[in-house]
Amino acid sequence: MDGNAGKFNSMGNSQVLGSNFDSETHDS
């Protein structure tokens, strides 16, 4: 779901969904 994670991150919803998505997108 890497593509989805990037899409959500673009809208800033990644943080709303959970740090899990944020972690995969930022990988930080």
Mind listing the pLDDT tens digit of every residue in the chain (28 residues)? 556 656 655 656 555 556 565 555 555 4
Range of the domain at 18: 1-28
- Give the tokens for residue 2: 């890497």
- Give the tokens for residue 28: 């930080």
Domain count, the chain: 1
Q: What is the pLDDT of residue 20?
A: 62
Q: What is the pLDDT of residue 10?
A: 61
Q: What is the pLDDT of residue 8?
A: 58
Which residue type sits at 16?
V
- Give the tokens for residue 4: 């989805």
3-state secondary structure of 13: coil
Task: Return the DSSP state at 1.
Answer: -
